[in-house]
Amino acid sequence: MTTLRKLGLKLFSVALAVGLWLAVSGEPIAERGVRIPVAFENLPESMEILGDPPTSVEVRLRGPSGTLRRLGAGDMAAIIDLEAEHAGTRMFDMSSDRVRAPLGIDVTQVIPSTISLTLDVSSSRVVPIVPEVRGAPAAGFMVGAVEVEPASVEVEGPESRLHDLVEAMTEPIDVTGMSVPMRRMVTVGVDDPYLRLVTPGSARVTIPIVRVPGGGAARTATGAARTGLGARD
C-alpha cells in the first residue's frame, strides 16, 4: 500500500470519527438498563463447564439517548475468556471491561457483579448397553437371553460425571403378552444431561420369548433381560 493511500485512509477514519461525534454530541445523555448475552470464549478442548452457567447479565448503560434507543441485546455481549483456566470452581469479576459495547456507550454497572463457573476435565469411556425391557410375556412364556448389537458404546463428558456411569440404556421395549421373539432398533442414551454418546445412534435388540421350562411361572422381563446379559458376559 502506497504512503499516499495510507494517509488517505487515516484521514477518512478521522473524518468518520468526527462525523459520528458531531452526530451524537447534540443529543442528551441518558441511561438505560438492558439484558445482554454472556459468551464463553476460548474454552480448551480438554475442559467442560458443569452446572447451568448464566446465559445473560443485566448492564446499566450511559450515552447519547438516540444511540441507547437503537441498541438491541444482540449489539452487545459480556465476554468471559476461559483460555487460561483449569479444573475447579472459578470466580469472574464482571467489570465493565468484559462488556463489548458500541462506540460512545459507557457501561456503568454489570449485574451480577461476579459469575461462578465449575470447570472439569473432559474424558470418555466405553460402557455396555443394557436394554430396558418392560412387561411380562404371555402366560407360560419368559424372556430369554437378550442380545444387543453393538454391545457397548463410547460416552464422553466431564470426568467427575463419567466416574459413576456403569451403563448406557435404550428406550423401553414392551414385551407384555408376547409369545414370539422380538427384534427392535432402539435409540441408545445415558441418564445424565452432562454426558453424551461420542457417536449418537441406535442398537438392534433381540429378545427371545421362550416357553417356561416345566411350565413354571415366567420371570419378569427386566430380570430376564439383565440375567441374559450377565450370562453372556
Mean pLDDT per block of 10 residues along the chain (233 residues) reads: 58 58 63 92 92 92 87 86 92 94 90 95 95 94 95 95 94 95 95 92 95 66 45 37
Nearest CA to 34 among 105, 97, 82? 105
Three-state SS string over 25-44 comes to HCCCEEEEEEEEEEEEECCC
Question: What pLDDT, on a 0 to 100 scale, did the predictor assign at position 156?
Answer: 96
Contact 54, 117 (CB under 8 A): no
Q: What is the DSSP letter of 176?
A: T
Grid cell for residue 101: 459495547
Which residue carries 454530541 as its cell?
25
Query: What's the CATH fold of domain 27-112?
Result: RNA Polymerase Alpha Subunit; Chain A, domain 2 (2.170.120)
Nearest CA to 142 among 150, 133, 151? 133
Contact 131, 188 (CB under 8 A): no
Give me the count of residues in the chain. 233
Question: What pLDDT, on a 0 to 100 scale, did the predictor assign at position 230?
Answer: 36
Question: What pLDDT, on a 0 to 100 scale, did the predictor assign at position 231?
Answer: 35
Question: What pLDDT, on a 0 to 100 scale, did the predictor assign at position 223?
Answer: 47
The CATH 2.170.120.40 portion of the chain extends over: 122-232
Ramachandran sector of residue 93 (left: φ over 0; alpha: ψ -120 to 50; beta: rest) = beta
Distance CA 150, CA 197 (A): 13
Ramachandran sector of residue 37 (left: φ over 0; alpha: ψ -120 to 50; beta: rest) = beta
Nearest CA to 119 among 40, 61, 173? 40
Distance CA 82, CA 76 (A): 19
Alpha-helix residue ranges (DSSP H) falling in 26-101: 65-70
Alpha-helix residue ranges (DSSP H) falling in 26-177: 65-70, 159-162
Maximum CA extent, the chain = 101
Superfamily for domain range 122-232: YbbR-like domain (2.170.120.40)
Distance of CA 122 to the CA centre of its chain: 13
Indicate the SS3 state at residue 40: strand
Question: What pLDDT, on a 0 to 100 scale, did the predictor assign at position 227?
Answer: 39
Q: Which amino acid is at 159?
A: E
